[in-house]
Amino acid sequence: MTNTRAAITGIHAYVPDYVLTNAELEKMVDTNDEWIATRTGIRERRILKGEGLATSYLGEQAVKGLLEKTGTDPEEIGLLICATVTPDMMFPDTANLIAHRTGMKNAFTFDLSAACSGFLFALTTGAKYIESGMYKKVIVVGADKMSSIMDYTDRATCILFGDGGGAVLLEPSTDGNGIMDSILHSDGAGAENLYQRGGGSLRPATHETVDAKEHFAFQNGRPVYKAAVAGMSGVVKEMMQKHSLTAENVAWVVPHQANLRIIESVASMADFPMEKVMVNIHKYGNTTAATLPLCLWEWENQLKKGDNLILTAFGGGYTWGAIWVKWAY
Ligand code: UT7
């Protein structure tokens, strides 16, 4: 066992300028602001518009800002992981495109696909490369252009998602702060409730797959809702019991932003007051792999060295988990 932990030493994020409001969605599908706000907590979400702008652009903007604010030379980065379910292309990996455009000549890169838990899975993976001593600087990106796989005639799903990207820098720490523990889960039985069927090797693109709308994300909301509450509350409580964490000694819960009612249920089941729970779903909706870094970015100025944070997410797969972080700066 090593005493070296991976610490988050910088955070930056990016959301596109275009704001898609509930009022605008009312003109596109049979919905209304009151339904969306009361059932989900979402008021608006950001959409990336512009020819040639894809998920790599969201990640690139976040990474550029991160390198600048931490004064990091891109050539020092050994590894860049991008968590996403909306890669620019099937290959090359989006992480590779981001690294190229940000001058990371010495990094190896890969994408990680774990839907809304992508950032948790990628953060844990990146941390292992630091803890092992293999690299001194690793960047973990969570970015998704969810608007690229939305069916804007499916009112049950299109109102939920938005576009965004965030990135953290990981470096070795020996002062007791950093990524302390991860509990991660996958259950392929959930594949039937949340998926994008078309475009892979199972259903390559054909006229038929396009006509059947198989290149859009599909969600069966009710079962996913129940599984999300059970999955996140269970894993948060397990993490707290395992490390004697309490609502008093944890500064913040950082939950995936899929539905305000899910967040409130998870907080209540783990006995956390909502004042200690990061919530920005009203502004951004569900940005899939970007929700957690978008929260950390917005709360960065309120975080103090040594603060206990519990990050948690649930998503397609199913995938879910929790990470205990001691904030390092
Ligand atoms: O991030 C990945 C993981 N995803 C999640 O965690 C999301 C989990 N699921 C959810 O958040 C919720 O299930 C939804 C927000 C997707 C849906 O909320 P719900 O309270 O479960 O509603 P529902 O699907 O049971 O639908 C209730 C009613 C239906 O009408 P009837 O059958 O009762 O007449 C729907 O047709 O609401 C209707 N409905 C809408 N009405 C207005 C569904 N979508 C809309 C809409 N506007 N956009």
Return the HEC string of the chain.
CCCCEEEEEEEEEECCCEEEEHHHHHHHCCCCHHHHHHHHCCCEEEECCCCCCCHHHHHHHHHHHHHHHHCCCHHHCCEEEEECCCCCCCCCCHHHHHHHHCCCCCCEEEEECCHHHHHHHHHHHHHHHHHCCCCCCEEEEEEEEHHHHCCCCCHHHHCCECEEEEEEEEEEECCCCEEEEEEEEECHHHHHCEECCCCCCCCCCCHHHHHCCCCCCEECHHHHHHHHHHHHHHHHHHHHHHCCCCCCCCCEEEECCCCHHHHHHHHHHCCCCHHHECCCHHHHCECHHHHHHHHHHHHHHHCCCCCEEEEEEEECCCEEEEEEEECCC
Residue tagged active-site, from 22, 96, 158, 256: 256
82 is catalytic: no
**pTM exceeds 0.75:** yes
On average, the pLDDT of the chain sits at: 97
CATH 3.40.50.2300 fits 180-326, yes or no: no
286 is catalytic: yes
Return the percentage of the chain with pLDDT > 90, whole number.
99
Q: How far is the CA of 318 from the centre of ligand 1 (A)?
A: 18
pLDDT at 206 over 60: yes
Domain ranges of the chain: 5-175, 180-326
pLDDT in tens, 240-284: 999 999 999 999 999 999 999 999 999 999 999 999 999 999 999
pLDDT at 46 over 60: yes
Q: How far is the CA of 177 from the centre of ligand 1 (A)?
A: 40
pLDDT in tens, 114-161: 999 999 999 999 999 999 999 999 999 999 999 999 999 999 999 999
Q: How far is the CA of 4 from the centre of ligand 1 (A)?
A: 45
221 Cα nearest atom in ligand 1: 13
Closest CA to 44 of 22, 27, 66, 70: 22
pLDDT at 3: 85
Q: How far is the CA of 121 from the centre of ligand 1 (A)?
A: 27
CATH class of domain segment(s) 5-175:
alpha beta
Which protein residue's CA is at the shortest distance from atom 2 of ligand 1? 315
pLDDT at 2: 55
243 is catalytic: no
> Confidence class of residue 57 from pLDDT cuts 50, 70 and 90?
very high
Residue tagged active-site, from 22, 286, 295, 308: 286
How much is the average pLDDT of 22-37? 98
Ligand 1 lining (C-beta closer than 6 Å): 31, 35-36, 39-40, 116, 155-156, 159, 221-222, 224-225, 228, 258-259, 262, 286, 314-315
pLDDT at 81: 99
pLDDT at 22 over 60: yes
* Ligand 1 pocket mutation, candidates 26, 31, 39, 116, criterion most atoms within 8 A of CB: 39
Same fold yes or no, 5-175 and 180-326: yes
pLDDT at 16 over 70: yes
* Ligand 1 pocket mutation, candidates 150, 259, 260, 312, criterion most atoms within 8 A of CB: 259
Q: How far is the CA of 40 from the centre of ligand 1 (A)?
A: 9
pLDDT at 21 over 60: yes
Which protein residue's CA is at the shortest distance from atom 43 of ligand 1? 156
Q: How far is the CA of 60 from the centre of ligand 1 (A)?
A: 33
